[in-house]
Structure 1
Amino acid sequence: MPSPIFSDQAYYTKAFNYFTSVGNYFEAVQKWAEETFYEHVVEKLVGNISDGTDDKPLRVLGVGSGRGELELVFLKKLLLKFPQIHTCVVEPCVNLITQYQHDQSKIKEHASDITYDWQNRTFEDFVKLQPENNHKYHFISACNSMYYVKNLNETLQSLYDMLVPGGILLVTITADYTGAGKLWRTFPCLGSETSSQDGLPNIASPSSHHRDSAHVHDALCQLQIPYYTDDYTCNYKITQCFDEKESEEGNLVLDFLTHMIGFRNAPKDLLQQVLACIKECSVQRSDDWFFQSEHVCFFITKPT
Structure 2
Amino acid sequence: MLESEKSTMPRPIFTDPAYYTKAFNYSMSIGDNIEAVQKWTDEKFCGHVVEKLVANITDDKQLRVLGVGSGSGEIELFFLNKLLTKFPKIHTCVVEPSATLLETYQAKIKAHATNITFDWENHTLEGFVEKHHKNNHKYHFISAINSMYYVKDLNEALQSLYDMLVPGGILQVAITADFTGYGKLWRTFPDLGSETLSQDGSPESDSSSSHHRDSGYIHDSLRQLQIPYYTDDYTCNYKITKCFDEKESEEGNLALDFLTHTIGFRNAPKDLLQQVLACIKESCVQRGDQWFFQSRNVSFFITKT
Q: TM-score, normalised by structure 2?
A: 0.92
Kindly tell me: are residues 64 and 203 of structure 1, through their superposed partners in 2, closer, same or farther at Cα, counting changes over 3 Å? farther
Measured after TM superposition, the shift of residue 135 of structure 1 is 1.0
Kindly tell me: are residues 89 and 271 of structure 1, through their superposed partners in 2, closer, same or farther at Cα, counting changes over 3 Å? same
Measured after TM superposition, the shift of residue 195 of structure 1 is 9.6
Measured after TM superposition, the shift of residue 272 of structure 1 is 0.6
**Alignment match of 1:170 (pick from 140, 154, 172):** 172
Measured after TM superposition, the shift of residue 134 of structure 1 is 2.1
CA distance in 2, matches of 1:258, 1:7: 14
1:1-304 aligned within 5 A: 1-49=9-57, 51-53=58-60, 56-107=61-112, 110-111=113-114, 113-132=115-134, 134-193=136-195, 204=206, 207-303=209-305
- Partner SS state of residue 226, structure 1: coil
- Partner SS state of residue 168, structure 2: strand
RMSD of Structure 2 on Structure 1 (CA): 1.6
- Partner SS state of residue 75, structure 1: helix
CA distance in 2, matches of 1:42, 1:32: 14
Partners of 2:151 and 2:207 within 8 A in 1: no
Which amino acid letter does the alignment assign opposite residue 274 of structure 2?
Q
1:73-119 CA distance string (max 9 Å, x none): 10000000000000011112211111111111231xx31x1111111
1:12-46 CA distance string (max 9 Å, x none): 11111111111101000000000111111001110
CA distance in 2, matches of 1:131, 1:192: 30
CA distance in 2, matches of 1:71, 1:156: 19
Kindly tell me: are residues 172 and 223 of structure 1, through their superposed partners in 2, closer, same or farther at Cα, counting changes over 3 Å? same
Instruction: Show structure 1 runs of 5+ residues with no match.
Output: 197-201
Measured after TM superposition, the shift of residue 48 of structure 1 is 0.8
Instruction: Show structure 2 runs of 5+ residues with no match.
Output: 1-8, 199-203
Report the identity percentage: 73
Kindly tell me: are residues 7 and 134 of structure 1, through their superposed partners in 2, closer, same or farther at Cα, counting changes over 3 Å? closer
Partners of 2:14 and 2:205 within 8 A in 1: no
Which amino acid letter does the alignment assign opposite residue 92 of structure 2?
T
Segment drifting more, 6-15 vs 66-75: 6-15
Which amino acid letter does the alignment assign opposite residue 289 of structure 2?
D
Kindly tell me: are residues 133 and 228 of structure 1, through their superposed partners in 2, closer, same or farther at Cα, counting changes over 3 Å? farther
Measured after TM superposition, the shift of residue 138 of structure 1 is 0.4
Measured after TM superposition, the shift of residue 270 of structure 1 is 0.3
